[in-house]
A and B are shown apart, each in its own frame.
Chain A
Amino acid sequence: MNFEFSDDQKQLRDQARRFLSEKCPPKAVRAVLEGKAPYDKELWKGLAEMGFLGVAIPEEFGGTGAGHLELCVIAEEMGRAVAPVPFSSTVYLAAEALLLAGSDAQKQKWLPKIASGEAIGTLALFEGPGNPAPQGVKLTAANGVLNGVKTPVADGAIADFAVVVARHGASGRETDIGLYLVDLKAGGVEARALTSIDPSRNQAELTFKDCKAEPLGAASEGWSLLSQVLDRAAVLTAFEQVGGADRALEMGRDYALDRIAFGRPIGSFQAVKHILADMYVAATLARSNCYYGAWALSTNAGELGEAAATARISATQAFQHCAKQNIQVHGGMGFTWEFDCHLYYRRSNALALSLGSLSYWEDTLIERMRKKNAA
């Protein structure tokens, strides 16, 4: 057994960390947060040049073909840096959907552009409040066009193309749902930017009016494909969340070492130590669950469904816990705009909702464990 990343993968992590600490300091995150740009274009270009956007895209489609373990490593660093770029939408969702269901022509059209940073992609799934469910999909697909509204769509206002979840039948079964590929720059879609709890990432409402679309994968298999895409994205997002959780823990620890009150560093008080110890526990459990997810993702194991839900729940809890308690350790300073604590607090809560919320994944995990046990 070897339950650890390889030396090469660790080297890649160091490389990504160095790159991001230089190109993505908190100042860069704040520029997007404060509305100076919808995302950091320079950083996006840099990520493409480093080969990070195409790390899990095969060479024949313009990527480096390194693999999903390498992508996990980079995802963690993106989370640490709370990077203000459409990485998760483009790489975990759009690219994974194309790799899973795309025709050769569809892959040839979009994957090289993703790897080179020329195209931003996203997944348009949600239609207002609610978690992923076939009956929640009202947007229709008929005669090659889509009609309906998707909201919120992460990076919807800056994306070049979208994988859209749409209804093509009315039998009441999962097979009514299909995936469709839409060139968002070709007309028929109107994007309205939405203000969100985490303005360092773009959110939008997309209105489709007789918008041209082509099927992605078999029309009757849309829901099953979506579920596979969400599982893969859940593992990758969990790495982002663990990266964020670790950074929030470090910030809290550093502050507790520096801040003096009652004549001693606040980190010497047990009340503060125990907060930080519990943050460490949450982050460690989540990291271990993420490694399990990474193994399942990279080997396409039968356990991917269970591993992905486990990693997702654990990492969501850990990031939310660490980001919240980091503010508590900082006291009043943690609630200032000036300190970076809120960048992590905002991102942790936005990521917690991005692929279906905690209650959705809890339900999914237990259903999967039950089926496995019954089998």
Chain B
Amino acid sequence: MASKTINITLKIWRQKNANAKGSMETYKLDNVSTDSSFLEMLDQLNEQLINERQEPIAFDHDCREGICGMCSLYINGEAHGPDRAVTTCQLHMRKFKDGETIYIEPWRAKAFPVIKDLVVDRSAFDRIQQAGGFVSVNTSGRTMDANAIPIAKVDADKAFEAATCIGCGACVATCKNSSAMLFVSAKVSQMALLPQGKVEATQRVLNMVKQMDEEGFGNCTNTGACEVECPKEISLENIARMNREYMKASLKS
């Protein structure tokens, strides 16, 4: 790893709380190692702010290895920044140039209200899951043997790919309509592709879509930006599959 350091200017959204009016603030940060992750750069800025007796910037993060889905950030106009197939915590400063100005904003969507600075409320996603993102099987362990129903590898693999969604909300933040279709369709697809999920498929898709609409997410107009920015590269095919599932379910019910 050829390590070097860069000096950068940051323009960051600051907002005291949900009701306060926010604004973009400017910060200078020197000696940022290009081996640092983007969030380590923010740690460094916060350390600097604390040493200057200023309030550090609030941002969501946890696992820092791209799997928990907690980190967010709209960086230079892109969800999770300029790199592809990564979350913000996996973005590294080697993607930026010395002297560059970097703009950092929170996810912007009606259904994701700002809590503070760069932190937003994504509990709408939880409520969509609660509306139907499950198989109604009790946790007795007394189900059938795991190998009782063979599942074609191609279906299992597709279900897995859909299931790798980390629920970060980049799809919503990226979409000009703030649509949650990629997120919802990933869960609908995972279940629809597996025999275990087929029994409740009709109710599931209707309930999840209903909840999605009630949360204030917009509609899908097939722009495809969500797929480009998705850190897990969830495919648009899932939206097509959900539309088919929804159509089938609407005709049945």
A binds B: no
